[in-house]
Amino acid sequence: MAGILVSGATGLVGRHVLSALLETTDEEIHALARRPLPAPFANHPRIRAYQADLSDANRLVDVLNTARPAAVIHTAAIADVDACERDHALAYAVNAEGAANMARAAVAVGAHFVHVSTDYVFDGSLEAPGPYDETATPHPVNYYGETKLEAERLVSELCANRIGLAICRTALVYGVNPAGRLNYMVGMVNELRAGRAIRAVTDQQNTPTPAASLAEMLIAAARQRATGLFHTAGGELITRYSLALALAYHFKLDPALVTPLRSAELGQLARRPLLSGLRVEKAERELGVRAWSLKQGMIWLESAMNAQQ
């Protein structure tokens, strides 16, 4: 058994895990996704690609029996919060049952399992605000958070006393993924660059996470065979309004285009945890990887976005 298998390889997080593996190791790299890999990963000589749906438990076992990875980094999920609220059955099938199927496949071959979760397992309430450490009690306020918390429970039960498990929660992940949907920060920059006004809420706080920084933490957990619960996110707590202003100033765009408002004014289908965010001290200490500052993240994002132009 050798190498690392990355599920959700066409997604934002999976893509950056693949990139980081290509840059930092000569070990075997296995990529699992529902659809063919996009450039620059398609037909890459160092990547062995597999197609499978998370609902097909037998196929997942076959893939892992063929790949024989030493570790699995499970990034695949439906992260669209409102989409999860609209379709509970699909959200549960992918986020909870799909995670369980991946964990079963990892158990079948004895691969260490790194499962990516979210700060949305918390409620972000005034009574129990973030940023949260690993001892905080989860209490999701939307169906996305419920499915991800259930996934944590299922993979914990399946892996217990069988294989090593690291659950890595993250928050507000951003970065460029030409093959995927726009994320919050890229969307804001695009709108500001086009001279269009954007709205940003003043009552939601979080710890924005560059996808490349998260990839470093996930790979460290896989390589070190880390076990337990880790909060793997960005290193700074900020409101979405302040974040939008910081982006405007960093990208030398017009901050007057940013309009503040309250979350209740957005009319979003799913509730959001308002006072969220994650504390990363444990992950930094035990995984030996420093969380990026917001400044580091914006410099990286600017470089990535400019490269796509």
Find where tokens 């079948």 sit.
108
In this structure, what token pair is assigned to residue 20? 């980081």
Find where tokens 């037909």 sit.
43
113 in Cβ contact with 72 (< 8 Å): yes
In this structure, what token pair is assigned to residue 58? 């037998």
Cβ count within 10 A of residue 2: 11
Q: Give the separation between CA 169 and CA 230, rounded to whole angstroms.
A: 6
161 in Cβ contact with 280 (< 8 Å): no
Residue from 120, 143, 144, 174 carrying the catalytic annotation: 144
Give yes or no: 143 in active site: no
Cβ count within 10 A of residue 89: 7
Q: For the chain, how long is the longest CA-to-CA vector?
A: 56
Q: Give the separation between CA 82 and CA 115, rounded to whole angstroms.
A: 22
Cβ-based neighbours of 296, under 8 Å, separated by 6 or more: 210, 213
Q: Is 232 helix (H, G, I), strand (E, B) or coil?
A: coil
Find where tokens 């997604």 sit.
11
206 in Cβ contact with 47 (< 8 Å): no
Phi, psi of 172 (to 5 degrees): 40, 60
Q: Give the separation between CA 76 and CA 72, rounded to whole angstroms.
A: 11
Positions annotated as catalytic residues are 144
